[in-house]
Each structure stands twice: as C-alpha cells, then as structure tokens.
C-alpha cells in the first residue's frame, strides 16, 4: 500500500512516500535557521514557512521515488497526515494540503498521531526492507522530544497506554532552555552533547534530579531549569566553565530519565524498550539506556535511522499503513481538524 505522508507538526515541513514498513522517499525541509535567532520556534514564522514549502516538499517526495517505481498522486493508495499533537497553526497547513489532495485525487485519508509516529520510528525500513525487526509486544516506549517526555505501553498495533509523562517541560525543552541560558543558541541538545563529551560527560555540579523520590512515572524538569538559572545568577563568572555546566545539566536530565525508566521497567515488568524522539540522537543517552536494559536482560530499540529521531513524515506513513489494515480511515474528510493537544 503506497502512501503519501505529510507532517507539519512543528518546525519541519516533511513529506514521504511509504509502502508498508518501507520508505521509498523522505523529504524534510527544516526551519531551524529561521527560528534560530529567536531562540525557539515562532508560530507565525513556522506557519508561513510551511505554506511556502509544502508543495515543493510533496513534489520532491514523488520525484525522489524515481522512475523505477513510477509513483504519482494518481497511483498512490492513500494520503496520511499528522493531526496532532503540535503547533496548531503549523498542523493546519499539512492538514489543509492533505485534504485538498485527497479530494482532488479521490484518495482515502488517514489521520495519524505524531507520537505514534515516534513510537513506530523504531520499525521504519529503508527501500530495501532493512532493518528487519519483528514486533514483540508489549513494549515499554519512552518518547523524548522537544515537546514530549512520555512513557507508553505499546500493547499491540495502534494500541497504547500512557503510564507517565512530563508535568511541565519536556526533556528536550529543558536542554534547549539550559543552552539558551548559556548563550549557546537553538536547538540546544546537540550543542550540550558536544560540550559534555569534551569533559567526559561528568557531573560536576550535581543539579537536582526532580521527581525521583515519587513512585509515579511522571517527570518535571522546570525545577531543574530554575535551579540552573539561579546557579548561573549567583555564579556569573562560572560561564567561563560552560562545558562543565553543560555536562552537569545534561547528566541531571539523563540521570532522571534513566532512573525513571528503571522504575518503569520494575513496575511494568517489561524489559523490551523503544526509546525515540529528537533527544535520542544523543549518543550519551543511548549508551546509558543500553547499559540499563542490559542490567534487566532486555532489549532496546531506537529509531532505525538517524533521520527518524527528529520529526519526519516517513514514520507517519508507516503508522498509516497499520491504520489502513484496521480500516482506520478518516470518515468525513471535510470534518478533519487539527488536535494540538491530542493524547495517544
Ligand atoms: O523530536 P524532535 O525533533 O521534535 C519534537 O517533536 O519536539 O525533538 C527536538 C528536540 C530538541 O529539544 C533538541 O534540542 C533535541 O531534540 N535534540 C537533542 C539532540 N538532537 C536534538 N537533544 C540531545 N542531544 C542531541 N544530540
Ligand atoms: Zn516529534
């Protein structure tokens, strides 16, 4: 089943053509440079950039499939689009385009939750069908991105149960804010990773690990951010030691993620993990997660290719394939609307 998938949930304009688990083409037009100077995503700029780029990105997705697998809007089987969660004005652009094309070419429409995309990103294959990963339900999934930090039990296809989430900032958001306080620009995660590595990923300052005492599986990173802010205020000349601060902050966030994940493994008895979302681009976090899972004789899957860690439409197309098998198409195209706070 060939699907055109579109995701405009935040600051990447993305389209992909998928066939089952396989990605035939994937195009991501990042807006990072547009938002960089504002230190974060500006909704009005995101909306305009999506509108300006969406046609190009969709056309490019078809062009990249190439002549061998001749593919056009006429001969695909369905169109998939991210309905939420995300930035309302950004989601709107992708949904409008998907509806327009579905009506014009008389295609079925599949609405996908962006977070299920992140979960399925561990099973996305290249055009050759690699890697081959069988589903071994249930999984304990942890999505760690700029907007979300959530534990989900992935029970079977398209069946999820949220068992913990952040009460305020997401882990990626916390990293971004700390980097901003250090004057390191946006997005902060990759810069902190590089600086932390230079000083051996050590924890020099022992910033607080929020919520570790509580038995639930929720996160809260705003207290850590506040304590970091006051530390910088009280110690203004510490900024010369930016690498030590970056490393200590990153360790505080990762230590919290690891300890909560350990709690989640113990509470659910599931040692079969999926860790996905933008923050797992981080090699330090991957190593810590691998070590943790080894301790419980489990397995951990990460997004199968690096481009699948951040936002992309390939993962949306793969989810849509499973939804199509369950006949989960949009019933009334005219009524399809964005759901900015859509929970799994
Ligand atoms: O999944 P994603 O691309 O977008 C959302 O859906 O939010 O995640 C973006 C987040 C940002 O907070 C960014 O700083 C973080 O992922 N990130 C990283 C790294 N690369 C991106 N965090 C830590 N280390 C990285 N290498
Ligand atoms: Zn995302």
DSSP codes, 86-142: S-HHHHHHHHHHHHHHHHHTT-EEEEEEHHHHHHHGGG-B-TT--S-----S-EEEE
Using CA atoms, how far residue 105 sits from 34, 72, 95, in Å, is: 33, 10, 15
Residue of 326, 331, 325, 321 whose CA lies nearest to 3: 321
Residue with tokens 């929970």: 343
Between the CA of 115 and the centroid of ligand 2 the distance, in Å, is 7
Report the alpha-carbon distance of residue 92 to residue 152 in Å, rounded: 26
Q: Is the pLDDT of residue 238 over 80?
A: no
> Angle 171-181/222-234 helices, nearest 10 degrees?
10
**What local confidence, expressed as pLDDT, does residue 64 receive?**
94
Q: Which atom of ligand 1 is nearest to the CA of 310?
A: 3
The set of protein residues with a Cβ atom below 6 angstroms from ligand 1 is 10, 145-147, 172-173, 175-176, 187-190, 193, 277-279, 281-282, 310-311
**What local confidence, expressed as pLDDT, does residue 69 receive?**
62
Q: Is the pLDDT of residue 67 over 70?
A: no
pLDDT band at 68 (very low <50, low <70, confident <90, very high): low
Q: Is the pLDDT of residue 239 over 70?
A: no
Convert the pLDDT of each residue in 30-47 to its tens digit: 998 899 888 888 999 999
Q: Which atom of ligand 1 is nearest to the CA of 311?
A: 3
Q: In whole angstroms, how large is the CA radius of gyration of the chain?
A: 20
Q: Is the pLDDT of residue 275 over 80?
A: yes
**What local confidence, expressed as pLDDT, does residue 37 receive?**
83
Cβ(182)–Cβ(174) below 8 Å: no
- Of 149, 171, 189, 191, the residue with max ligand 1 atoms within 8 A of its CB, to mutate for a pocket test, comes to 189
Convert the pLDDT of each residue in 145-171 to its tens digit: 999 999 999 999 999 999 999 999 999
User: What percentage of the chain reaches a pLDDT higher than 90?
Assistant: 91
- Of 279, 305, 308, 341, the residue with max ligand 1 atoms within 8 A of its CB, to mutate for a pocket test, comes to 279
Question: What stretches of the chain show up as alpha helix (H) in DSSP?
Answer: 32-36, 43-65, 88-104, 114-120, 171-181, 188-198, 222-234, 242-268, 283-295, 314-325
User: What percentage of the chain reaches a pLDDT higher than 70?
Assistant: 98
């Amino acid at each position: 089943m060939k699907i055109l998938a579109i995701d405009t949930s935040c600051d990447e304009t993305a389209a992909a053509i998928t066939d089952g688990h396989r990605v035939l083409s994937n195009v991501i037009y990042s807006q990072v440079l547009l938002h960089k100077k504002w230190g974060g995503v500006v909704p009005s700029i995101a909306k305009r950039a999506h509108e300006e780029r969406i046609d190009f990105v969709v056309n490019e997705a078809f062009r990249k499939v190439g002549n061998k697998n001749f593919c056009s809007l006429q001969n695909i089987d369905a169109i998939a689009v991210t309905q939420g969660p995300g930035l309302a004005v950004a989601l709107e652009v992708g949904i409008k385009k998907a509806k327009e094309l579905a009506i014009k070419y008389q295609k079925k429409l599949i609405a996908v939750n962006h977070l299920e995309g992140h979960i399925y990103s561990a099973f996305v294959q290249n055009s050759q069908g690699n890697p081959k990963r069988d589903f071994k339900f249930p999984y304990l999934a942890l999505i760690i991105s700029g907007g979300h930090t959530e534990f989900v039990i992935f029970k079977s296809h398209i069946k999820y149960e949220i068992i913990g989430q952040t009460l305020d900032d997401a882990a990626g958001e916390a990293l971004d804010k700390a980097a901003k306080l250090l004057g390191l620009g946006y997005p902060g995660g990759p810069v902190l990773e590089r600086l932390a590595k230079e000083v051996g990923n050590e924890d020099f300052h022992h910033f607080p690990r929020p919520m570790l005492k509580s038995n639930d599986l929720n996160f809260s990173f705003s207290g850590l951010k506040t304590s970091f802010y006051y530390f910088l205020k009280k110690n203004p000349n510490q900024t010369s030691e930016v690498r030590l601060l970056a490393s200590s902050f990153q360790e505080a966030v990762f230590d919290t993620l690891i300890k909560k994940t350990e709690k989640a493994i113990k509470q659910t008895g599931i040692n079969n993990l999926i860790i996905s979302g933008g923050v797992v681009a981080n090699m330090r976090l991957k190593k810590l997660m691998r070590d943790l899972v080894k301790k419980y004789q489990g397995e951990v899957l990460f997004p199968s290719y690096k481009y699948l860690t951040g936002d992309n439409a390939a993962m949306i197309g793969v989810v849509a394939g499973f939804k199509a098998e369950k006949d989960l198409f949009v019933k009334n195209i005219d009524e399809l609307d964005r759901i900015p706070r859509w929970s799994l």
